[in-house]
Amino acid sequence: MHEPIERILCPIDFSEFSVPAYDYACSLAQHYGATLYVEHVVELWRYPSACFAGSADDYDRFCESLTNTAIEHLKSFVQSHSPGGFSPPCVLPQGTAIDCILSFAQEEAINLIVMGTHGVRGFDRLALGSVTEKVLRKARCSVLAVHGKSESEVQPGAHWQTNELREILFCTDFSDYSNRAFDYALSIATEYHARLTLVHVVEGISRLHCAENTAKCQELLDRLVPESARQNCAIATIVRSGKAYAEISRLAQENHADLVVMAVHGRNTVDSAVFGSTTYRVVLLGNCPVLAVHC
């Protein structure tokens, strides 16, 4: 069984992608009764010219001003986007974003990190190593990547509502990692009374053996689901053939999935088959939140 969701971290960089991620984190925290931490990292290293702009006192005043501005900005953000009566603790460390996010998550035993992602529109930034991409790779806990929406897609006053989770897609390659991540997906589906669809994509086989392989994989999928689980929520199984990331993204769109759940094998293998080719690309190309479960 996966660990319960008791402590959630939502890093904020004040971009348009922070808003849907924060809304989602608030909804999850309220639903599970979890503690939500909101973090903004003050990255002084981004202002190297300040070191040479005057005396040490001038630099100290600059740093203090930058930190105070960030504090006010974060307070304003939380006040503007929090549900009524909800006031999560805020943290503002100084350093590099990736290091501060990961260290805080480890120190506070965070169960889930919720972050905004640019999706395909920000492919160049993600490919070059954005903060979200690095957290997805290196975090020890699960990471929920929430896609941002353009201003034209967002209705005034609209918020993510995780209480509306009705369709969850779980992707498996039958590895031990995926099997452990299945517990997470099943738990969420049961919690929200959602329909859970298990999918396996068969890659790199000839048409001659396609039917035989599909039948075997279908049997494995059905065997993966305990009978007791079928009594708690609606469960379906699907086998497809093709490129895994493309088929998963397509199925998520066809099913109007509210959440895609996938396993991540390791913390230092961005080029590995599972993370590099599948999980990472589904995060980039998909149009719904993706939960990367670190196993």
Question: pLDDT of 81-108, one tens digit each?
Answer: 988 878 899 999 998 999 999 999 999 9
How confident is residue 47, by pLDDT bands cut at 50, 70 and 90? low
Share of residues in the chain with pLDDT > 90 (%)? 44
| 185 and 139 share one domain | no
| 129 and 188 share one domain | no
Confirm whether 275 is domain-assigned. Answer: yes
Confirm whether 240 is domain-assigned. Answer: yes
| 205 and 276 share one domain | yes
| 94 and 192 share one domain | no
Residues 28, 8: contact at Cβ < 8 Å? yes
Burial 145-159 (b: 16+ CB within 10 A, else e): bbbbbeeeeeeeeeb
| 208 and 123 share one domain | no
Compute the mean pLDDT over every residue in the chain, rounded to the nearest whole number.
82
Q: Residues 112-126: pLDDT tens digits?
A: 999 988 655 444 444
| 119 and 35 share one domain | yes
Residues 115, 259: contact at Cβ < 8 Å? no
The pLDDT assigned to 189 comes to 93
| 29 and 142 share one domain | yes
Phi, psi of 240 (to 5 degrees): -130, 165
Residues 232, 190: contact at Cβ < 8 Å? yes
Least confident window among 7-11, 59-63, 229-233, 240-244: 59-63
Nearest to 41 by CA among 76, 79, 114, 90: 90
Confirm whether 156 is domain-assigned. Answer: no
Q: What is the pTM of this model?
A: 0.86
Helices (H), the chain: 18-32, 56-81, 97-107, 123-127, 131-138, 176-192, 207-224, 227-230, 244-254, 280-285
Number of Cβ within 10 Å of residue 238's Cβ equals 17
| 124 and 244 share one domain | no
Distance CA 143, CA 276 (A): 16
Nearest to 280 by CA among 129, 68, 61, 149: 129
Confirm whether 190 is domain-assigned. Answer: yes
| 83 and 188 share one domain | no
Residue with tokens 């990961």: 102
Determine the 3-state secondary structure of 128 from DSSP: coil
Q: Which residue has the higher pLDDT, 205 or 161?
A: 205
pLDDT of 271 > 60? The answer is no
Between strands 112-117 and 7-11, the pairing is parallel
| 36 and 141 share one domain | yes
How confident is residue 65, by pLDDT bands cut at 50, 70 and 90? confident
pLDDT of 188 > 70? The answer is yes
| 247 and 219 share one domain | yes
Confirm whether 34 is domain-assigned. Answer: yes
Q: Which residue has the higher pLDDT, 217 or 275?
A: 217
Read off the CATH number of the domain in which 272 is found.
3.40.50.620
Region 183-187 average pLDDT: 92
Residue range(s) defining the domain that contains residue 126: 7-147
Listed as own residue / partner, the contacts of 43-48 with beta carbons closer than 8 Å and 24 or more positions apart are 43/94, 43/95, 43/96, 43/97, 44/94, 45/96
Give the largest Cα separation in the chain, rounded: 75
How confident is residue 233, by pLDDT bands cut at 50, 70 and 90? confident
The pLDDT assigned to 130 comes to 77
The pLDDT assigned to 272 comes to 45
| Helix 18-32 / helix 56-81 crossing angle, nearest 10 deg | 60
Confirm whether 53 is domain-assigned. Answer: yes
Distance CA 279, CA 138 (A): 14
The pLDDT assigned to 264 comes to 80
Q: Which of 147, 175, 192 is the last residue of a domain?
A: 147
Distance CA 264, CA 178 (A): 8
Nearest to 17 by CA among 151, 190, 124: 151
Least confident window among 112-121, 127-136, 163-172, 188-197: 127-136
The pLDDT assigned to 269 comes to 42
Determine the 3-state secondary structure of 154 from DSSP: coil
| 132 and 213 share one domain | no
How confident is residue 22, by pLDDT bands cut at 50, 70 and 90? very high
Q: Which residue has the higher pLDDT, 117 or 258?
A: 258
Number of independent structural domains in the chain: 2
The pLDDT assigned to 229 comes to 84
Confirm whether 135 is domain-assigned. Answer: yes
CA angle in degrees (0–180, nearest 5) for 76-125-110 = 55
Residues 74, 38: contact at Cβ < 8 Å? yes
Phi, psi of 189 (to 5 degrees): -60, -40
Confirm whether 154 is domain-assigned. Answer: no
